[in-house]
A and B are shown apart, each in its own frame.
Chain A
Amino acid sequence: MKADVLIVGGGIQGCATAYYLSKQGVSVIVLEKDYSGRHASGVNAGGVRLLGRDMAEVPLSKASMEMWQTLDDELGEDTGFRNQSLINIAVDEADITALHERQVKMHALGYTHERIIDQSELMQRLPHVNPDCVGGVLSELDGYAIPYKATAAFRRAAERNGAQIVEGEEALGLRRVGNVWLAQGTGHRFEAETVVNCGGAWADRIALMIGDNVPLSHAAPMLMITARVPKFAAPVVGAVSRQLSFKQFENGTALIGGGAKGFADRANNRTRLDYAKLASAARTTAEFFPIMRRASINRMWAGLEAYMPDNLPVIGPAANAARAFHAFGFSAHGFQMGPVVGQVMAELVTGGTTRFDLSAFRIDRFDRKVL
C-alpha cells in the first residue's frame, strides 16, 4: 500500500494529523496495531484543559482550546465537547499564594485566561464543595469531551477525506530507502514519502525504527466512574495541591481521576489496578465533595500512557532522519492538544514550518552532551 504520508498510531494525535493532512488533499495511511482509540486516546478522563499548563505548552494549548469550541462543526461529528469551565480548588493560604505567584508569571507573558476566584465565587460555582475550601483558579474556556467519540470523530472525518485507517496492523519495521520510507506491517507492506510517529505508549519503539532514541516511559493512570447521580457539579474540578480530578457528565455519571497510577503491562497490552491508591482517590473525592460518599462506583480502569521525564511532549521533526516527524509523550495531558497537534504536524509535513515555537518539544532535548 502506498501513500504520501504514513502515520503510525491511530489515537487522537494520529487521527487529527490524518484529518488535517487529508483535508489538504495529501494521501494518508494510518497504521493502528489494535483499533483506533483503544488506548490512552479512548479511555482517558476527557478533560479539555488549558488551566495550569506548563508555560511552554500554553501557546499550543490556547490555540487548541479555540479549535475545540467549533470542532464539532469543523469535523461534522459529535466529539461530546462541553464548555463547562474548569476550577482548581485552593484548600489553604499556601495554595492561594502559589496561585498568585503563577498569575504574575502568566500576566508577564500576556496570558490572561486564568482567573483567581475567592471563596464566595467558588461556593457559588460549586455549591456542594467542602466549605473549608478557600478559593481557586478558573478557566472559562475549559471543559470536557468524550475521548473515544472525539478520536472517532477525527478518524471518520479523515476517512471522508480519503485517509485510510488500517486497524489491527502493527508496524514491525520501518526503513528509509532512497527517498521513501518502507514499512513492514503484520499483514501488509507500506510505502510513503513521509512518516509520522504518533505511537503513544509505544512511540519509543517507532522512534527507534526511525533512528531517534528517546527516554520515554509508560504508566497506567487510573480512573473510576460512578453510576448516575443527581446533577450537582457543572465545572470540571481539580485542586491546586491535592490529587483531585473530578467531573460530572451530562448523564449524571461522575468521573474520578487524580493521577494515581496502576501497573502498566505494556508487553501484554494491559493494565492492572492499584486498589489502595484508588481508595485514596475515593477518600480525597469524598473530602472535597461529601455528597459523593453514597455514589456507587460502576467501573474502574487504567489506560497505557506515555510519559517524558519533563512531562512535556515530543513534537517536531526527527533528529536523525529525513521526512520523519514525531508527536507523542504527552504525559497524560495530550487529549486537549489533539486538534492543534494535528494541524501543526500537517504544517510540518507539507511546508516544513509552523507558527509555533517547538524548541521545548525537541526529541533530542535529553541527549547527553557529556558522560
Chain B
Amino acid sequence: MSAFDCAIVGAGPAGMSAAIAMAEAGVRVVVLDRASRAGGQIYRSAAASPLPDVAALGADYTVGADLIAAYERADVTHFANADVWHLGEDGRILFSQDGESRELHCREMLLCPGAMERPMPIHGWTLPGVMTAGAAQVMLKSDAVVAEGAVFAGSGPLLYLIVAQYLRLGVSVKALIDTTPRQNYVDAVPLMPRALRQVAMLRKGLSLLREIRASGLPVYRFAEDLAVLGSDKAQGLCFATKGKQRKIHADTVFLHHGVQPNLNMTRAMGLAHHWNPDQMCWQVTVDVFGQSSVPHVSVAGDGAGIIGADGARTAGRLAAFNILHRLGKLSLTDRDRQAREDLSGIKEQIPFRRFIDRLYRPTDALRLPQEPTTLVCRCEEQTMDDLRAGFEQGARDPNALKSLTRCGMGPCQGRQCGHVVSGLLAQWRGTDPEEVGYYRLRSPLRLLSLDELSQYKPVILEAAE
C-alpha cells in the first residue's frame, strides 16, 4: 500500500498549474475537485461551455480551456465530484464521492480553496430575488441561465465583468449602481503611477468600464445607503447618489463588493491566519511558496489571499516547486532557480494589486450591517441586534457569541457570516479583527448524512505505482 506524494484540493487555476508542474516531475499527485470537470470558479465549464457564443465571456475565460486541456493531459489522478469533508493534519483526507465516504493519505497537501464573495449585509439582502454577482456568473457559465432586467449593485472588477458579459449576450440590464466611494479614487490615485507598469491589466479594466458606459446602460456612481425594496421578495433597490434618493424597480438584484479567501479548509485545519488590513479580510499565513504554519500543508491561489486567476496560476507553480523540494525531487538551489521567474512575476503584480485593493476597498457600510434588524446569520436568523444582545451579555469572542446566540451554528456553520461577526465584535470592542479572532470551524466541511457517515470505512485508495 502506498500513499500519494501530494494531494491537491481544488482544481482551479492554482490547483491545475501545481498538478501539471508536479506531474511533470514524476510525483504521484491526486486532485480532489468538487465539480464534475476541472476549472474552478473562474474557469467553470470553460472546457465545455453550454453557451452558443463563449467568446462573449471574454478572453480571460476562454484561456481557461487551454489550461484545463493541459491539466487533463497530465499524469494526475483526478477525482471529480469529490466533496472533501475532513482534512487531517496527519495527511488523511476524508471525502464523499457518489454517496460514499472515502479516505486517502498523502505526504504533502496543497489546498486551493479559492475565493468567495464578501457578504453584503444591506437592508433586505436575504430576500428572495437577491443574489450575488458570483451566482449570476455560475448560472451563466454552467447552465447558460440569465436574469432579464436585473439591477446590479456594488463595486469591484467581477461586478463590471458580469454586467459586460450580460450586455454582450444581449441580456437586458436595468441599471448598474456603483458604490465605489469618491474617497477611494482619491486614495488610489497616488498608487496609480506604479500600477501603470501593469498596463495590460489596467487597460483590460478600463475597457470593461468603457464598454458598459458605451452601451447606454444607466450607471449611478458613488451610491450610498443601499436598501433592497420589498418585504417578502425583492422588488428593486433604493439608494442615494449625489444627494438624491432613487428607487429602481427590478425582480432580481445582484450584489457584489469584492471577494475574500474561502477560509473553510484552512481554518478547519487550524492553520495560522492573520488579518489583511488592505483587503479587509482574514487570510492564511503562508510564505512565498504557500507553505503554511504546518510545514506539509501548503495553500495557493485566492484561498491564500486574493491575487486573481493569473496570480493563482503562478502561486500554484511556486507551491509545486517547494513541495517537489520537500519530497526530495528538487534541490533547494534548483527550487529557487526554477522559481525565480515566477517570484519576480508575482512581485511585479504587487503595485497593481495595491491599486486595485485601494480603489475597491470595501466600505464599512457595506461590509457590516447598519441596521439593528438586518440579518447577519441567515441559517439561524440572527440579526445584528441579537448579536449585540449576546455581546452585552459577555460574549466577546466569536465562539462564545456562537454558543450563546447560535449565530454560525446552522447548516453553513458560520462559513458565510464569519467575517461579519469578527468585524462586528471588533467594532464593538474598539479593536481590530486580529484581536477578536474567528470561529473555530468544526468537521464536517459540508453536511454529511448519518447514513453516509455510518458506512464510512477507512479504505485506503492506493496511488498508481
Name A's interface SS.
helix
User: Is B207 at the interface (CB under 8 A from chain A)?
Assistant: no
Closest B residue to A295 by CB, please name it. Answer: B450
Given contacts A156-B393, A227-B411, A273-B443, contact A297 B450 (CB under 8 A): yes
1/0 per residue, CB under 8 A from A, across B73-100: the answer is: 0000000000000101100001000000
- Residue from A149, A159, A278, A296 within 8 A of B449 (CB atoms): A296
Assess whether A286 is in contact with B451, with CB atoms less than 8 Å apart.
yes
1/0 per residue, CB under 8 A from A, across B392-409: the answer is: 011111011001100001
Assess whether B454 is in contact with A148, with CB atoms less than 8 Å apart.
no
- Residue from B86, B393, B449 within 8 A of A275 (CB atoms): B86
Assess whether B449 is in contact with A295, with CB atoms less than 8 Å apart.
yes
Given contacts A37-B400, A37-B403, A285-B450, contact A299 B413 (CB under 8 A): yes
From A35, A36, A298, residue with most partner B Cβ within 10 Å: A298
Assess whether B393 is in contact with A282, with CB atoms less than 8 Å apart.
no
For this complex, into which size category does the number of interface residues on chain A fall?
35 or more
Within B410-465, the residues touching A (CB, 8 Å) are 410-411, 413, 442-444, 447-451, 453-458
Instruction: Report the minimum CB–CB distance from A300 to chain B (whole Å).
Output: 5
A-B contact count (CB 8 A): 96
Residues of B within 8 A of A38 (CB): 399-400
Residues of A within 8 A of B456 (CB): 275-276, 279
Assess whether B400 is in contact with A270, with CB atoms less than 8 Å apart.
no
Within A202-246, the residues touching B (CB, 8 Å) are 226-227
Within A124-170, the residues touching B (CB, 8 Å) are 148-149, 152, 155-156, 159
Instruction: Report the minimum CB–CB distance from B381 to chain A (whole Å).
Output: 11
How long is the Cα–Cα vector from A270 to B400 in the complex, in angstroms?
Answer: 16
User: Is B128 at the interface (CB under 8 A from chain A)?
Assistant: no
Assess whether A275 is in contact with B404, with CB atoms less than 8 Å apart.
no
User: Is B270 at the interface (CB under 8 A from chain A)?
Assistant: yes
Assess whether A227 is in contact with B393, with CB atoms less than 8 Å apart.
no
User: Is A283 at the interface (CB under 8 A from chain B)?
Assistant: yes
Closest B residue to A37 by CB, please name it. Answer: B403
How long is the Cα–Cα vector from A310 to B245 in the complex, in angstroms?
Answer: 72
Assess whether B450 is in contact with A286, with CB atoms less than 8 Å apart.
yes
Within A261-311, the residues touching B (CB, 8 Å) are 270, 272-273, 275-276, 278-280, 282-283, 285-286, 292-301
Assess whether B413 is in contact with A298, with CB atoms less than 8 Å apart.
yes
Assess whether A296 is in contact with B394, with CB atoms less than 8 Å apart.
no
Instruction: Report the minimum CB–CB distance from B86 to chain A (whole Å).
Output: 7
Given contacts A299-B442, A300-B442, A301-B442, contact A227 B447 (CB under 8 A): yes
From A38, A299, A300, residue with most partner B Cβ within 10 Å: A299
Instruction: Report the minimum CB–CB distance from B96 to chain A (whole Å).
Output: 12
Residues of B within 8 A of A286 (CB): 450-451, 454
Closest A residue to B380 by CB, please name it. Answer: A251
- Mark B residues whose CB is within 8 Å of A: 86, 88-89, 94, 101, 270, 393-397, 399-400, 403-404, 409-411, 413, 442-444, 447-451, 453-458
